[in-house]
Amino acid sequence: MEDTGEEGKARSRTDRRTSVQFIDINLIRRRSSGNDKPAQSQSQRLGSINSKCETDFDDLDHLQQYTTASDSDSETDEGTGINIREIQHKNAAGFTDFAVRRIKHAQYGRREIEIAEQEMPGLMALRRRAENDKPLQGAKIVGCTHITAQTAVLIDTLTRLGAQVRWCACNIFSTQNEVAAALAEESIPIFAWKGETDDDFWWCIKKAIGAEQGWQPNMILDDGGDLTHYCHKHYSTLFSTIKGIVEESVTGVHRLYQMCRAQTLPVPALNVNDSVTKTKFDNLYLCRESIIDGIKRCTDIMFGGKQAVVCGYGEVGKGCCSALRGMGCFVYVTEIDPICALQACMEGYKVIRLEEVVKQVDIVITASGSKHTITREALDKLKNGAIVCNMGHSNTEIDVSFLRDLSTNDLQVERVRSNVDHVIWPNGKRIVLIAEGRIMNLCCSSVPSFVVSITAATQALALIELYNAPPNRYKCDVYLLPKKMDEYVASLHLPAFDAHLTELSDDQCKYLGVNKAGPFKPNYYRY
């Protein structure tokens, strides 16, 4: 009996509808263009494709210009079995004083650097203003920082201002290989690749110092204090010619203050990390944008409804909490400082001790700058599938030392993808550990070039200040960047927003007790 109701009509329409998976897209194109020629057989189509491929591969060099930088670095960066230190490196000009993974990818790195330049207006403005004066003429700077496109813009700027440089990486996972290759192609002595071993790391620092080549540095730019520590331990005589140290990390600054208290700091040092432009912009805004990007790239998770705990509510912690809450997470905060804890409370975060929530949270992020913020005991209590990562500079915040001791370790470590490991317990529970507990955002994600421009401009000015300072202006102590320099760095970036500053009248300057050109705030002012 024929079904004439609505249900029958719907069934009839469904029966007539072609299944999507069997639609020939080529047939649709032919019909839409009015071409009714018979369709080629599958073998004919394959033969045509192969013939075209053979023709195209004859012009492979032409095709390569359309390859992206990420394509160039698609080969596995770790576990290749190649000892970078033993390779005979040479660039197109015959220069050999460098060690990078693949010099042939220099062109891709140069494109990355050019993209970064567009988003680093302050540093580029400083380069244009000072390039003719060459304020770093005669400076020999040895640097140990993250090797990224943004750092390359800083290195290019320092050389344009007259400096000679040698460089290595401060983190074994954060190097962009194609960027390192681009710098090497410019005959800059650089020793860095992604996935270095600990032995490689110290070897690169030694090579960057350049004592074996007869090179004598007179300035140090450090990130983490490892370069300063190595020089002090193995090349202490170098400090007779070194004019100063510029340090940009919490860990490195802490080491400098320790040396100062022990009266073992041999030269003046500028603490860039605690400058306003570094603390309030790099630590806060950079982390706010990169925390989500890094975790997404590594785990592909959805943040909405997840429970996250951020250990530490300094500027880095503030940025992380803001981003996580914006993505729909329930955010907890752990803190040791009552002032920071009160700030977190006023922002609506629940301040707790880690043990109160460790069994229920989905994401654990360290941003304390301390040691063993997350211990084996805490990891044991985490639920299956929890994500653990570090946003603080120190690689000791998450205690993973037990994973390296195979004789006593009852856990298995399973590599999932680059910078992502499963740590598996005997009962089958597993957690996701990102970047082996090292700083995540520079290992696993891109960082906003504009914010790095602020920090890089601050570093460049600090180097210029220390290098050109008259004798006895700075003692063997740790100094903050002068407030005037902080304001100058900020002013270099305002034109990018078409921002226009208000000028004080003479009467207003007299009333406030400030100079019309600044500085506008006293040193004790908290922004």
End-to-end Cα spacing for the chain: 82
303: how many CB neighbours lie within 10 A of its CB?
18
Angle at which helices 315-326 and 287-299 pack, to 10 degrees? 60
| Binding site residue list | 148, 223, 248, 278, 282, 314-319, 335, 441
Binding residues for NAD(+) are 314-319, 335, 441
Positive or negative, the CA dihedral 463, 468, 474, 476 is positive
The C-alpha atoms of residue 185 and residue 200 are separated, in whole angstroms, by: 21
- Longest CA span, the chain: 106
Q: Is 184 helix (H, G, I), strand (E, B) or coil?
A: helix
- Residue 298's closest CA among 156, 199, 443? 443
User: Which of 409, 391, 392 shows the shortest CA–CA distance to 400?
Assistant: 409
**What's the CA gap between 518 and 521, in Å, rounded?**
8
- Give residue for tokens 């329930």: 330
What sign does the CA torsion over 174, 437, 297, 63 have?
positive
Q: How many CB atoms lie under 10 A from the CB of residue 233? A: 8
Residue type, 434: I
Annotated binding site for substrate: 148, 223, 248, 278, 282
CA-CA distance, 242 to 435, in Å (whole number)? 34
The two tokens of residue 293 are: 């990007």
Residue 495's contacts (CB-CB under 8 Å, 6 or more residues apart) are 121, 125
Q: What torsion do the CA atoms of 290, 291, 294, 299 make, to the nearest 10 degrees?
A: -150
Report the DSSP pairing between strands 140-145 and 219-222.
Answer: parallel
